[in-house]
């Protein structure tokens, strides 16, 4: 659940930062000379970082001067001695900085490449395209060269899942989830224009998780788009950006400015929020709805009730199919960030949107056909769809009754 996930970059405080990892767990076992610290979820943590789990485990051992035990078949990873989990989490930050983050743009979406000739290790960044060297003076670098990441089906050397995202648990990518990272990265960052070659795209612009033969678009425009998506801004996760225009070029991002305004003026009336959106040329942009929802309802404890208070604001941006889908996507993002408290309330939240005529019946029924990665990760989308079933079923039955009455 959300409470167990933290930002891969812990220096980034934005709760909507896209890249998450499980909080590291540690369990001390044994006593005397046999005392040890077991890392029960290091496999999940490493998967989120797109690195083999033995890498951070070995890193802990090197930094602590302790022996480690790695049993890959049993998924058992142990550091000898009693170690505080908070200390290990701090050490993990060091591992991430040295062996995961791009040294240029600090994106966690990197691929390790080992050069056979000089035994150097390169971090290939999928966001900015930079290739930055790993410091070979650290002892873990020697271990990585001798134990390179698993090879993918295309022969590259990197780990099996994109940072902080779906590792192919749907079972359609072969054993072990070893897929082409370039393809998965492109699919996750659908705003990176032109990076759709060879992919199966649904009518709504969402990947269907098949056809992963893709080359990542490394043009300046696509790189800029991916950097924006990785920056921790408000509108991430593949939301359509075909309403971008010259107003979004240069200077501070207008969507970020709108979000900052809402957060800095918590008591501002909806009319002032819309006036600010108009000032920033976002008055009719469907993407602006995501910013408004995430910031306006960020700390709300009664989201369903509060929707009625802000219905006019949400409707003022527009009521097209695209706007209605953005409203649903915005609340999906909100539920994703606060799963523990909001996931059970999904039916009530959606019904409030329906009752206030913010999202129409057809839009909900279309959304319900298939979980989409357009606004949230696929696994979260599935959870939200499952939680929304009582509302969707009620909506479908109401439509059937209406059709029957008309006959």
Could you please report the per-residue DSSP string of 277-327? HHHTT-TT-HHHHHHHHHHHSTT-S-HHHHHHHTHHHHHHT--SHHHHHHH
- How does DSSP assign 153-201, residue by residue? TTS-B--SS-TTS---TTS-S-GGG---HHHHHHHH-TTSTTTTTT--B
Using pLDDT thresholds of 50, 70 and 90, give the confidence band for residue 211.
very low
**Contact in structure between 37 and 78 (CB atoms under 8 Å):** yes
Residue 43 included in any domain: no
Residue 171 included in any domain: no
Which of 333, 316, 321 lies closest to 233 in space, CA to CA? 333
**Contact in structure between 126 and 185 (CB atoms under 8 Å):** yes
Cα end-to-end distance, the chain, whole Å: 46
Residue 27, SS3 per DSSP: strand
Rounded Cα distance between 112 and 132, Å, is: 10
Tally of structural domains, the chain: 1
Rounded Cα distance between 186 and 77, Å, is: 32
- How does DSSP assign 191-229, residue by residue? TSTTTTTT--B-TTS-B-S---------SHHHHHHHHHH
228 vs 193, which has greater pLDDT?
A: 228
Give the DSSP H/E element, type plus range, for residue 379: helix 378-406
pLDDT digits (tens, 9 = 90+) for 150-198: 764 433 344 434 455 433 333 333 333 333 333 333 333 333 333 333 3
Rounded Cα distance between 42 and 349, Å, is: 35
Domain span holding position 271: 233-406
Rounded Cα distance between 162 and 229, Å, is: 14
Residue 381 included in any domain: yes
Rounded Cα distance between 217 and 196, Å, is: 9
**CATH (domain of 337):** 1.25.40.180
Of all residues in the chain, what percent carry a pLDDT higher than 90? 53
**Contact in structure between 219 and 239 (CB atoms under 8 Å):** no
**Contact in structure between 88 and 96 (CB atoms under 8 Å):** no
Lowest mean per-residue pLDDT among 127-141, 147-161, 348-362, 373-387: 147-161
204 vs 135, which has greater pLDDT?
A: 135
Residue 216 included in any domain: no
Phi then psi for 101, rounded to 5 degrees? -70, 140
Residue 358 included in any domain: yes
Give the pLDDT confidence score for residue 48 in this predicted structure.
93
In the predicted structure, residue 306 carries a pLDDT above the cut 70 = yes
Neighbouring C-alpha atoms within 13 Å toward the C-beta of 121: 26
Residue 196 included in any domain: no
Rounded Cα distance between 316 and 358, Å, is: 10
pTM of the model: 0.46
Q: Beta-carbon neighbour count of residue 157 at 10 Å?
A: 16
Residue 92 included in any domain: no
Task: Give the residue-averaged pLDDT of 290-314.
Answer: 93
Structure tokens at 318: 């527009």
Residue 323 included in any domain: yes
State whether the Cα torsion 213-217-222-226 is positive or negative.
positive
Structure tokens at 25: 């767990």
Task: Give the residue-averaged pLDDT of 103-123.
Answer: 89
């Amino acid at each position: 659940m959300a409470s167990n996930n933290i930002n891969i970059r812990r220096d980034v405080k934005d709760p909507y930062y896209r890249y998450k990892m499980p909080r590291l767990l540690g369990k001390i076992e044994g006593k005397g000379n046999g005392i040890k610290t077991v890392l029960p979820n290091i496999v999940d943590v490493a998967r989120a970082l797109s690195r083999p789990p033995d890498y951070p485990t070995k890193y802990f051992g090197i930094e602590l001067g302790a022996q480690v035990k790695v049993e890959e078949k049993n998924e058992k990873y142990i550091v000898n001695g009693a170690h505080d989990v908070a200390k290990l989490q701090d050490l993990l930050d060091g591992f991430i900085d040295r062996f995961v983050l791009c040294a240029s743009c600090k994106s966690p979406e990197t691929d390790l490449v080992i050069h056979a000739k000089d035994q150097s290790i390169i971090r290939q960044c999928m966001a900015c395209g930079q290739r930055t060297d790993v410091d070979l003076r650290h002892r873990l670098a020697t271990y990585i060269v001798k134990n390179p990441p698993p090879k993918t089906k295309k022969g590259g050397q990197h780990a099996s899942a994109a940072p902080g995202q779906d590792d192919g648990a749907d079972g359609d990518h072969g054993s072990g989830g070893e897929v082409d990272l370039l393809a998965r990265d492109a699919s996750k960052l659908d705003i990176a224009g032109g990076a759709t070659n060879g992919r199966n795209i649904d009518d709504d612009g969402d990947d269907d998780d098949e056809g992963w033969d893709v080359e990542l678009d490394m043009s300046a425009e696509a790189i800029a788009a991916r950097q924006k998506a990785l920056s921790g801004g408000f509108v991430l996760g593949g939301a359509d950006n075909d309403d971008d225009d010259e107003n979004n070029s240069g200077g501070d991002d207008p969507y970020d400015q709108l979000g900052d305004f809402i957060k800095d003026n918590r008591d501002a009336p909806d009319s002032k929020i819309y006036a600010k959106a108009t000032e920033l040329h976002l008055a009719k942009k469907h993407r602006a709805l995501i910013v408004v929802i995430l910031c306006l309802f960020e700390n709300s404890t009664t989201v369903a009730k509060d929707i009625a208070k802000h219905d006019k604001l949400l409707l003022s941006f527009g009521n097209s199919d695209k706007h209605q889908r953005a409203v649903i996507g915005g609340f999906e993002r909100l539920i994703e960030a606060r799963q523990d408290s909001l996931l059970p309330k999904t039916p009530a939240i959606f019904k409030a949107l329906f009752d206030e005529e913010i999202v129409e019946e057809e839009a909900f029924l279309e959304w319900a056909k298939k979980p989409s990665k357009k606004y949230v990760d696929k696994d979260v989308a599935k959870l939200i769809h499952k939680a929304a079933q009582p509302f969707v079923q009620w909506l479908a039955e109401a439509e059937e009754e209406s059709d029957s009455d008309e006959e």
